[in-house]
Each structure stands twice: as C-alpha cells, then as structure tokens.
Amino acid sequence: MAKYLLLKHYRGAPAPVNDVPMDRWTPEEISAHVQYMNDFAARLEKSGEFVDGQALAPEGAWVRYDGEGRPPVTDGPFAETKDLIAGWMIIDVDSYERAVELAGELSAAPGAGGKPIHEWLEVRPFLACPPTITE
Amino acid sequence: MDEALLRGLTPGVLAVLIRRGADFAAAEDAVQDALVEAVRVWPDDPPRDAKGWLVTVAWRKFLDATRADTARRRREDRAEEEPAPGPAPAVDDTLRLYFLCAHPSLTPSSAVALTLRAVGGLTTRQIARAYLVPEATMAQRISRAKRTVSGVRFDRPGDVATVLRVLYLVFNEGYSGDVDLAAEAVRLTRQLAAVIDHPEVAGLLALMLLHHARRASRTAPDGSLVPLAEQDRGLWDTELIAEGVGILQAALARDRLGEFQAQAAIAALHADAPTAAETDWAQIVEWYDELVRLTGSPVVRLNRAVAVGEADGPRAGLAALAELDDSLPRYAAVAAHLHERDGDLATAARLYAEAARKAGNLAERDHLTRRAARLNARR
C-alpha cells in the first residue's frame, strides 16, 4: 500500500473545463456537488482506502523565525501568491494507477449545469518508510 | 448495562479516592481502570451497589498501582504522613472535582479534556475521537493537565464561571465521534446544577436545553445548515423547551442576572414563537442590550444588529452594524443578510460570497455559498 495526497487548489492549478465560480451555480447544483464529495469519501472509507480529508480557509499568513528572543515575523497574505491550496484528501491505495483513477473520479464532481468540473487535482506520493528487506 | 449511569457515578468515586488520600492523577487512573473492569464484569455479574463496587475496585487498583512506589518511598513518607481527611459530604466532593478540572492554570483545551475524563468518565480514546486528534496526543494532554492540577489545594472556593466556560466549550464544539458532546455537556451541567445553587449554572443549563431542543431541525437530511427562520418548528423538542424555560424563569426570579441567563432568555424567546414571523424581536433586542451591558462583547453587538434589523427594519440593523469593526467574524454574513432584507440583492450576493470565503467551517461555507447562489440565480 502507498499513500497519496490529492491536492485541490484555489489558485495555481490549470483552469478546469467547467470553470464557473460556485456562487454562480444554482443551490441545487451546490447540493449535488457536496453530495458527490461526501459519497466519494464514504465509498473510500468502505473500500479501506480513505485516510483523511480536510478543507483549508483561503487566507493564511507567512511566518518565520526572527532570531533569539524576538517574536516570529508574520507577513501576508499575499494576493500575488500563485499557489493556494484549498484542501486535500489522503488515500492509501495499492498502486499509482489506483491513485490516478480515484483523483479522476474526484475531479468529475458535478459543477455548474450539473456537468463535471474537470478540475485539475495534484497527486503527490508520500515518502514511505524504508523497507525491512533491502537486498 | 447503563453506560450513562456508570459514568454518572465517576466523579463521586473519584472524589472518595481523593478524600482517602490518593493524589488526583493516580486516583483518576484507578477510576478509569475500575470503569473498564465494570464494563467487562457487570453484564454477567451486576453489583447490588454500583458505586460501592466501583469504590472498592478503584481503591484496589490504586493500591496495586502505587504499591511499588510506596515500597520505594516508605521510609521518607513515614516521616511526613498525615492523617486522612475525615468524611465529607459527597456533594462537596463532586463540586471540588468540577473546580479542579476547570482550574485557571489549565488551558481551555486541557480543562475540557480533563473534565470529560475525570467528571464525565469518558475514555481517552473517546475524547480523542470526539476532538479528531490522535489518542496518544489526547493522552498526553490529559496527563499534563493532571500533573498541573495535582498540587492544587482547595482552601477557598473556586470561581464557578471557569467551570461554566468549560462546559459551554464542550457543548458548543460541534465535532463528532461516537460520543455526543452536546448531550454530554448537558449531562455534566445537569449534574453540576444538582450540587450547586447558582443562577448562572441554571442559566447555562437552560441555554443548553433550549438549543439542544432545536437540534433535529438545524440540519437538512443532506447535512446542510437550516437557519432559524427556516427551521421546521414541529421538530423542536417541546419537553426540553418547557424544561429550559422553567429553569430559566426560576433563575431570573432571583434577580442575579448573568450572561448565560440573558443568552438563555433570547433562546427562550425564539423557542416561544410559533412561527419565525411571530418572534418578539423587540424583547430580544432588549436582552441583547443587557448582554452588551454584561459582557461588552463585539460578537454580542454583531448579533444585536441582526435583532435590530428584525425589530426596527434592515436600515436600522445596518446602522447598528456600521458602528462595528468589519473584521469581526461573521460580519460579512450579517451585512449580507441585512442587505438582502433591504432588497439590495447584488450587494447581498457579493457579501454572501465574501462571507463564504471567511467562514470558519465547511457547513457554514456551503450554506453561505448557497445563499449567494440563490440570489445570483434570482437576479
């Protein structure tokens, strides 16, 4: 088994095919979308492949150490930040092919007009533990 | 086996061990062990005296666990051995436990965890699942909290407000596991109200009951939020409402108003309206004025602006809103609502979308996005 992170972006991903902001959908289309996402997670729980899923607020800040005895420096949020993560799902699956298959299903979530959004999701493998047998 | 009954006995059993001289952390571990034992043994062999059984087993567990330590430390301990405190009424014991678990030296998250475990008798695993953190993390949080309060002496009564804040936090955090935290908070507050006569304890209990009564109507079958005005009032639990109103009236009659009584009064006025349109908004505004006077909280002022918008019209609500800082949480949502009531749908839709971006949880975000979408579809 290998773990993969499916990343959803507010910004930074290539534009989806069905690119209409959510507040321009009908309320029923929003409900259908939410339902699809919930069903997807529930299905992965049943198949034993779901690990975690979380959504992130769009606004954050940059923080760094500023030396001994000084409070950390905070900056931002920066409107020009190119990449903005919206949320993630972590899955634990048998193969890369399976991870891609599931990301494809997630990207088919319905949007405006009840049609799939075709949203680009980023699939990133976790660095695993070293194997016990190495030779 | 009645798990609620079992857990209801927890604080009393713990208090007996502490009174017999066990330190808090060790006593708490021993009581947890006894509860586990009870779950295993009672179904086949129920005790006649449940509390007596738990005290006996917990005390034995405590002695077993400390025997090695005791042997090691016997010499030093003998010199400073104190006689065990005499018997005290069980009521004071339970109350002391509430104060200990909400002690001001604890962070809010630690106080919540310790209260759920020591007073509520939940297992570390259940608490961890309820707050969506790993069990090892929660175990550390609890044991650090136990260490923090181990040296606390109760030579004077604590401030009941600290206990109420902890119970309020438990009730208000909407996380879910296999434990219903809201119901647990109600149970613990009931238990507290039974051992202390204080109008704000009654006020908080009333507030919880009145909100708990509306729970079935707060979410649609698809999980989306249903705002108060659109809730099916037929789903409200009239028994809980009647109980909450009764408790509140008795508390108010004592003329020692506090913020929980005032909040409960607002909840009672909502509960009392057969339809949303029949809500007595003028009285609600008066209670918000009391709340502002009591707390000075900007969040209360924000909610007051909504009530003013209903009582005196959306323009009055917007005027009240204009006096507040627009960086307040939910400011955009309130502004959107008032503009919608005022007929300015374009502004309302834009503000709903902005509020959705600032929402602190998914259910609210989806709800606000739906509001924006509904208005955009109508324009």
Q: Please check whether residue B132 touches A, CB under 8 A.
A: no
Residues 25-54 of A with CB under 8 A from B: 25-27, 29-31, 34-35, 38
Cα–Cα dist A24/A112, whole Å: 8
A23, A55, A59 member nearest B373 (Cβ): A23
Cα–Cα dist B316/B277, whole Å: 18
How deeply is B128 buried, as exposed, middle or buried, from its count of CB atoms within 10 A (0-12, 13-18, 19+)? buried
Are B372 and B356 a contacting pair, CB within 8 Å?
Answer: yes
Omega of the bond prior to A125 within 30 degrees of 0, cis? no
Q: Enumerate the residues of chain B whose CB falls inside 8 A of the CB of residue A24.
A: 373, 376
Comparing A111-125, B139-153, B234-248, the range with the smallest average pLDDT is B139-153
Q: What percent of chain B has pLDDT over 70?
A: 91
Residues 293-352 of B with CB under 8 A from A: 349, 352
Q: Enumerate the residues of chain B whose CB falls inside 8 A of the CB of residue A57.
A: 357-360
- Averaged pLDDT for residues B58-86: 66
Determine the length of chain A: 135
Q: At what angle do helices B160-172 and B199-212 cross, to 10 degrees?
A: 10
Residues 95-134 of A with CB under 8 A from B: none
Are B149 and B28 a contacting pair, CB within 8 Å?
Answer: no
Give me the domain span that covers residue A105: 2-125
Domain CATH code at residue A30: 3.30.70.1060
Domain CATH code at residue B297: 1.25.40
- B314 in a domain, yes or no? yes
Higher confidence at residue B375 or residue B12?
B375
- A132 in a domain, yes or no? no
**Which tokens go with B335?**
């502004």
φ/ψ region of A118 (left if φ > 0, alpha if ψ in -120 to 50, else beta) reads left
- A134 in a domain, yes or no? no
Q: Enumerate the residues of chain A whose CB falls inside 8 A of the CB of residue B224.
A: 31, 34
Cα–Cα dist A71/B251, whole Å: 47
- B334 in a domain, yes or no? yes
What pLDDT, on the 0 to 100 scale, is given for residue B80? 46
Cα–Cα dist B242/A49, whole Å: 47
Nearest residue to B128 (alpha-carbon basis) of B144, B146, B113, B148: B113
Looking at residue B53, its amino acid is W
Q: Enumerate the residues of chain A whose CB falls inside 8 A of the CB of residue B351.
A: none
- B150 in a domain, yes or no? no
Cβ neighbours around B296 below 10 Å, total: 9
Chain A residue nearest residue B352, CA to CA: A23
**Buried (b) or exposed (e) across B302-337, using 16+ Cβ within 10 A?**
bbbbbbbbbbeebebbbebbeebeeeeebbbbbbbb
Comparing A2-16, A58-72, B69-83, B351-365, the range with the smallest average pLDDT is B69-83
Higher confidence at residue A46 or residue B88?
A46
pLDDT tens digits for B257-288?
Answer: 999 999 999 999 999 999 999 999 999 999 99
Nearest CA-CA distance, residue A26 and chain B, Å: 6
Cβ neighbours around B162 below 10 Å, total: 17
A21, A35, A55 member nearest B222 (Cβ): A35
Q: Please check whether residue B355 touches A, CB under 8 A.
A: no
- B64 in a domain, yes or no? no
**Mean pLDDT of all residues in chain B?**
89
Are B314 and B341 a contacting pair, CB within 8 Å?
Answer: yes
pLDDT tens digits for A51-100?
Answer: 999 999 988 889 999 999 999 999 877 777 778 899 999 999 999 999 99
Higher confidence at residue B222 or residue B338?
B338
Nearest CA-CA distance, residue B379 and chain A, Å: 11
- B124 in a domain, yes or no? no
Strand duo A84-93 + A2-11: pairing: antiparallel
Cα–Cα dist B302/A41, whole Å: 36
Q: Enumerate the residues of chain A whose CB falls inside 8 A of the CB of residue B372.
A: 23
Interface test mutation site (partner A, options B230, B347, B354, B366, max chain A beta carbons within 10 A): B366
**Which tokens go with B91?**
């009521």
pTM for the full predicted model:
0.85
- B4 in a domain, yes or no? no
Q: Enumerate the residues of chain B whose CB falls inside 8 A of the CB of residue A25.
A: 373
Higher confidence at residue A78 or residue B360?
B360
Give the number of domains in chain A: 1
What pLDDT, on the 0 to 100 scale, is given for residue B372? 96
Are B142 and B112 a contacting pair, CB within 8 Å?
Answer: no
Q: Enumerate the residues of chain A whose CB falls inside 8 A of the CB of residue B369.
A: 22-23, 30
pLDDT tens digits for B130-178?
Answer: 888 999 999 999 999 999 988 777 656 678 999 999 999 999 876 666 7
* Cβ distance of A29 and B222 shorter than 8 Å: no
B224, B358, B365 member nearest A31 (Cβ): B224
- B377 in a domain, yes or no? yes
* Cβ distance of A22 and B373 shorter than 8 Å: yes
Q: Please check whether residue B358 touches A, CB under 8 A.
A: yes
> Above 50 in pLDDT, residue B14?
yes
Report the Cα–Cα distance between both ends of chain B, in Å, rounded: 58
Q: Please check whether residue B144 touches A, CB under 8 A.
A: no
List, in order, residues 6 or more apart from B120 with CB less than 8 Å away. B7, B10, B184, B187, B188
- B13 in a domain, yes or no? no
What pLDDT, on the 0 to 100 scale, is given for residue B79? 43
pLDDT tens digits for B73-87?
Answer: 665 554 444 444 444
- Count of CB contacts below 8 A, A vs B? 43
ipTM of the complex: 0.84
Q: At what angle do helices B199-212 and B181-195 cross, to 10 degrees?
A: 150
Cα–Cα dist B249/B252, whole Å: 5
* Cβ distance of B356 and A23 shorter than 8 Å: yes
* Cβ distance of B370 and A30 shorter than 8 Å: yes
Three-class SS of residue B87?
coil
What pLDDT, on the 0 to 100 scale, is given for residue B26? 87
* CA atoms within 13 A of residue B189's CA, in its CB half-sphere: 32
Cα–Cα dist B8/B68, whole Å: 31
Query: Which residues is A11 bridged to in the sheet?
Result: A84
Are B304 and B333 a contacting pair, CB within 8 Å?
Answer: no
Strand duo A50-55 + A2-11: pairing: unpaired
> Above 70 in pLDDT, residue B28?
yes
Q: Enumerate the residues of chain A whose CB falls inside 8 A of the CB of residue B360.
A: 57
What pLDDT, on the 0 to 100 scale, is given for residue B39? 87
> Above 50 in pLDDT, residue B208?
yes
List, in order, residues 6 or more apart from A80 with CB less than 8 Å away. none
Give me the domain span that covers residue B369: 293-379
Nearest residue to B225 (alpha-carbon basis) of B129, B94, B356, B375: B356
What pLDDT, on the 0 to 100 scale, is given for residue B4? 75
Cα–Cα dist B163/B192, whole Å: 9
Give the number of domains in chain B: 1
**Which tokens go with A68?**
């001994």
- Averaged pLDDT for residues B200-213: 97
What pLDDT, on the 0 to 100 scale, is given for residue B82? 44
Nearest CA-CA distance, residue A135 and chain B, Å: 35
Q: Enumerate the residues of chain B whose CB falls inside 8 A of the CB of residue A28.
A: none
Q: Enumerate the residues of chain B whose CB falls inside 8 A of the CB of residue A35.
A: 222
Nearest CA-CA distance, residue B344 and chain A, Å: 17
Are B22 and B136 a contacting pair, CB within 8 Å?
Answer: no
Three-class SS of residue B80?
coil
